[in-house]
A and B are shown apart, each in its own frame.
Chain A
């Protein structure tokens, strides 16, 4: 046992001695390692090694290499050119596509140590020098500058002969940024960079690489400053900001101008749920008797003035009956005659009807009554007020002043086109009557065009499509004539109007059919003798009439000229209610009178032509109007 312990101690001492000796360099050098070999141009190459621990002893290094398929060992030809611990292979010593087996040996006085061998093929260790002559210049392109970077391949790399093919990469960053923006440039030697910041300062670098090899180092940085410029966006913004106040001002001003119409459009007044005289508290208290007693308003039906406070919109209700009554009372002789004429024209929107109270009575309510009822449901008091108002308005219409009140049964923006109907001619006082009627139409500048069956009116067919002229009065003395011209002027502006035609009574002609109330007459044919043959259309039910009205061409003959003019008003069949203004009484009245009605028979051939021209137009306009002509045959009698 003692021996063993002694042996161990001795062994340890020996180890210690060896280590001490090593520290003092009593051994071979440490193993060196080849770090890398590089060729800058595929013609020469250099290898560097890392020496191992030298232990303080003088150590020399030698590099040996063997070429492929050869046992000859060569030593490095040049230890100096490439610096310390390097070996430089010149062109003569370099063979491409040949495998080199390289070893570095460290030698000191105690021995040699060899590194691990390394196999290289020069083709795959090419790392060129950085590109040279890198320049960056600012180019202007329609106010949007860009950078043009150009460079040259490293001098040593022979690209001209095709020996090396290099590809390049450009990178750019702003002065204060950290991230580079890299762009692959391929084999080209110029690169453009866009999207620069105005006034920015940039750093640019370029590097290159052979098709199979390593990337070179980045070239030294090139600094460039982009000049200030105004981008299109910026200038656009400036323009925008400058003009925005103007635009806002104009819009505000326009809105201000139309504030009222806007208000009506956007915020139509809603009828307040008021029942005049109704007290909610009474209801709470439970005294039913009191509640309903308050509803008994003394001034019912209310007058117009009491309703001025309400902002409700008036509902249009046609109460011809009442109007007729009112008209009957307290009017001048004209009105009296009017009454007898029983042609009341109102300019209710959408209705434009010329109704006679007698007609209404005959209808026994009819559509008008229904309408009246429905309207009344909406607001009883308001309806009445409306009719009152209308009556009042109507009284004022004697002068051919343009009164817009009638027109404005609805707020102007939101109302359908007001339609106007002309009064039909009154027999006894045709001029005045017509004047009256016409003045109605005149009072509305927007009155609908009147249709004139006019002999020789072919030229005038080029007015609006939904209007055709009938020959009117040729006599200049006739007041209607002057007003006709006025009408013609009006026609240009107006859209639709309705005309009521007087129904004639039993015509004296052979073809005279019996005319009943609300009976329509169709133009059957136009005879050679400048006669328009009409035949009555079976009325049937009211509904069928309405239907027919919408589908067939009808136009109302409003006035019958003294001469040979037939004033027709066209109106939209769709919009029409069931108002018709065939006036039975009028027709009969006319039948008795002479020379005033239905001058459809033109005096000349020209008128015939006019009618023939007119009638086709009538046919073309389906559902655009209706001819509600009285039986006009035997016109000569009129």
Chain B
């Protein structure tokens, strides 16, 4: 479903705003959790049927197309960077995966080797990335409204600006690597959202 920001309370109290923001965060986090779950399932399926040879040299040197995006890989780093930066990272990741997942789904649908179940999952995954990006944008807007973050995020409204830098690196990846990379990135997104929420509205379930 769409991540519409439904305000819980009609009054304009400050506490009410924060409550609705916390609610928004919860929904977005739930969504990201589901997305990660699907990617995990698909990755396991792939490992089962298309186990890549262990002798693959390039395995360690797998290059996700999103590796260019600087992401914090520790708790301290994630807590240290500004909220705006964290939000930006999340949005960048989401935007970066929209096209690759869509094409991945197209490939899966055409290839008969995959079960219908997997094909459905890939479609769901592709849709979710889209929805989640919209949701996170809403959260960012809300935070900007509340003055939690500055308005330096304005340029994120245009995803095309982000995509242009990426090019078509993801097209070189095979399906298995794609799934592997997305599984990790979806986990990052989920984790970053949780940290962002507990940094922004800590009193609501952190």
Q: Is the CB of B60 within 8 A of A99?
A: yes
- Pick the contact of A91: B74, B187, B202 (CB < 8 A): B74
A99, chain B: closest CB distance, angstroms: 6
- Pick the contact of A162: B63, B74, B198 (CB < 8 A): B198
- Residue interface mask A103-121, B partner, CB < 8 A = 1: 0000000000000000101
Closest to A94 in B: B74
The secondary structure that dominates the B interface is: helix
Which residues of the other chain, B, contact A237 by a CB distance below 8 angstroms?
A: none
- Pick the contact of A163: B60, B67, B187, B191 (CB < 8 A): B191
Q: Is the CB of B194 within 8 A of A165?
A: yes
Q: Is the CB of B75 within 8 A of A69?
A: no
A121 and B187 alpha carbons, distance in the complex (Å): 12
Q: Is the CB of A161 within 8 A of B198?
A: yes
Q: Is the CB of B33 within 8 A of A211?
A: yes
- Check if A212 is an interface residue, CB within 8 A of chain B: yes
Q: Is the CB of B61 within 8 A of A69?
A: yes
B176, chain A: closest CB distance, angstroms: 14
A98 and B197 alpha carbons, distance in the complex (Å): 24
Q: Is the CB of A212 within 8 A of B188?
A: no
A406 and B147 alpha carbons, distance in the complex (Å): 106
Given contacts A160-B198, A160-B206, contact A121 B75 (CB under 8 A): no
A42 and B188 alpha carbons, distance in the complex (Å): 13
In which size bucket is the chain B interface?
20 to 34
Which residues of the other chain, A, contact B75 by a CB distance below 8 angstroms?
A: 42-43, 96, 158, 161, 163
Q: Is the CB of A161 within 8 A of B79?
A: yes
Q: Is the CB of A121 within 8 A of B40?
A: no
Q: Is the CB of A163 within 8 A of B62?
A: no
A241, chain B: closest CB distance, angstroms: 52
Given contacts A69-B63, A95-B73, contact A212 B187 (CB under 8 A): yes
- Residue interface mask B34-60, A partner, CB < 8 A = 1: 001000100000000000000000011
B4, chain A: closest CB distance, angstroms: 24
- Check if A637 is an interface residue, CB within 8 A of chain B: no
B162, chain A: closest CB distance, angstroms: 20
- Check if A101 is an interface residue, CB within 8 A of chain B: yes
Closest to B67 in A: A69
- Residue interface mask A149-184, B partner, CB < 8 A = 1: 000000000111111010000000000000000000
Which residues of the other chain, B, contact A165 by a CB distance below 8 angstroms?
A: 194
- Pick the contact of B184: A121, A158, A211 (CB < 8 A): A121
A101 and B78 alpha carbons, distance in the complex (Å): 24
A98, chain B: closest CB distance, angstroms: 6
Which residues of the other chain, A, contact B12 by a CB distance below 8 angstroms?
A: none
Q: Is the CB of B60 within 8 A of A68?
A: yes
- Check if A491 is an interface residue, CB within 8 A of chain B: no
- Check if A97 is an interface residue, CB within 8 A of chain B: yes
Closest to A160 in B: B206
Which residues of the other chain, A, contact B60 by a CB distance below 8 angstroms?
A: 66, 68-69, 99, 101, 119
- Check if B71 is an interface residue, CB within 8 A of chain A: yes
A68 and B58 alpha carbons, distance in the complex (Å): 10
Which residues of the other chain, B, contact A160 by a CB distance below 8 angstroms?
A: 198, 202, 206
- Check if B173 is an interface residue, CB within 8 A of chain A: no
Given contacts A119-B60, A161-B195, contact A97 B206 (CB under 8 A): no
Which residues of the other chain, B, contact A385 by a CB distance below 8 angstroms?
A: none
Which residues of the other chain, A, contact B196 by a CB distance below 8 angstroms?
A: 162
Closest to B195 in A: A162
Closest to A67 in B: B60
A158 and B33 alpha carbons, distance in the complex (Å): 19
A66 and B199 alpha carbons, distance in the complex (Å): 33
Q: Is the CB of B74 within 8 A of A95?
A: yes
- Check if A630 is an interface residue, CB within 8 A of chain B: no
Closest to A116 in B: B54
Closest to A159 in B: B206
- Residue interface mask B173-201, A partner, CB < 8 A = 1: 00000000000100110010011111100
Which residues of the other chain, B, contact A94 by a CB distance below 8 angstroms?
A: 74
Given contacts A68-B60, A69-B60, A162-B197, contact A97 B76 (CB under 8 A): no
Given contacts A69-B67, A97-B73, contact A123 B187 (CB under 8 A): yes
Closest to B71 in A: A97
Which residues of the other chain, A, contact B63 by a CB distance below 8 angstroms?
A: 69
Given contacts A68-B62, A160-B198, A161-B206, contact A97 B67 (CB under 8 A): no
Which residues of the other chain, A, contact B188 by a CB distance below 8 angstroms?
A: 97
Contacting A at CB under 8 A, from B119-160, are none
Quick one: which of B60, B73, B198 has the most chain A CB within 10 A?
B60
Contacting A at CB under 8 A, from B64-119, are 67, 71, 73-76, 78-79
Q: Is the CB of A43 within 8 A of B74?
A: yes
Closest to B61 in A: A69
Contacting B at CB under 8 A, from A33-71, are 42-43, 66, 68-69
Quick one: which of B75, B78, B196, B199 has the most chain A CB within 10 A?
B75
Q: Is the CB of B76 within 8 A of A91?
A: yes
Q: Is the CB of A97 within 8 A of B198?
A: no
Contacting B at CB under 8 A, from A64-101, are 66, 68-69, 91, 94-99, 101
- Pick the contact of A97: B33, B62, B184, B202 (CB < 8 A): B184
A69 and B65 alpha carbons, distance in the complex (Å): 13
A581, chain B: closest CB distance, angstroms: 88
A48, chain B: closest CB distance, angstroms: 22
Quick one: which of A66, A94, A96 has the most chain B CB within 10 A?
A96
Which residues of the other chain, A, contact B187 by a CB distance below 8 angstroms?
A: 97, 123, 212
A206 and B149 alpha carbons, distance in the complex (Å): 40
Which residues of the other chain, A, contact B191 by a CB distance below 8 angstroms?
A: 162-163
Closest to A96 in B: B73
B56, chain A: closest CB distance, angstroms: 11
A250 and B128 alpha carbons, distance in the complex (Å): 75
Which residues of the other chain, B, contact A119 by a CB distance below 8 angstroms?
A: 59-60
Which residues of the other chain, A, contact B194 by a CB distance below 8 angstroms?
A: 162-163, 165
Q: Is the CB of B206 within 8 A of A96?
A: no
Quick one: which of B73, B199, B202 has the most chain A CB within 10 A?
B73
Given contacts A68-B60, A69-B60, contact A163 B73 (CB under 8 A): no
Quick one: which of A42, A99, A121, A162 has the most chain B CB within 10 A?
A162
Q: Is the CB of B40 within 8 A of A212?
A: yes
Which residues of the other chain, B, contact A99 by a CB distance below 8 angstroms?
A: 60, 62
B178, chain A: closest CB distance, angstroms: 16
A429, chain B: closest CB distance, angstroms: 100
B74, chain A: closest CB distance, angstroms: 6
A533, chain B: closest CB distance, angstroms: 85
Top 4 A-B pairs ranked by shortest CB distance? A162-B194, A162-B198, A95-B73, A163-B75
Instruction: Apart from A160-B198, A160-B202, A163-B78, list 12 A-B contacts with CB within 8 A.
Output: A69-B60, A91-B76, A96-B73, A96-B75, A97-B71, A97-B73, A159-B206, A160-B206, A161-B206, A162-B191, A162-B194, A163-B191
Of the A-B pairs whose beta carbons lie under 8 Å apart in the complex, a sample of 23, sorted by A's number, is: A43-B75, A66-B60, A95-B73, A96-B73, A96-B75, A97-B73, A97-B184, A97-B188, A98-B73, A101-B60, A119-B59, A123-B187, A159-B206, A160-B206, A161-B195, A162-B191, A162-B194, A162-B197, A162-B199, A162-B206, A163-B75, A163-B195, A212-B36
Which A residues contact B (CB, under 8 angstroms)?
42-43, 66, 68-69, 91, 94-99, 101, 119, 121, 123, 158-163, 165, 211-212
Which B residues contact A (CB, under 8 angstroms)?
33, 36, 40, 59-63, 67, 71, 73-76, 78-79, 184, 187-188, 191, 194-199, 202, 206
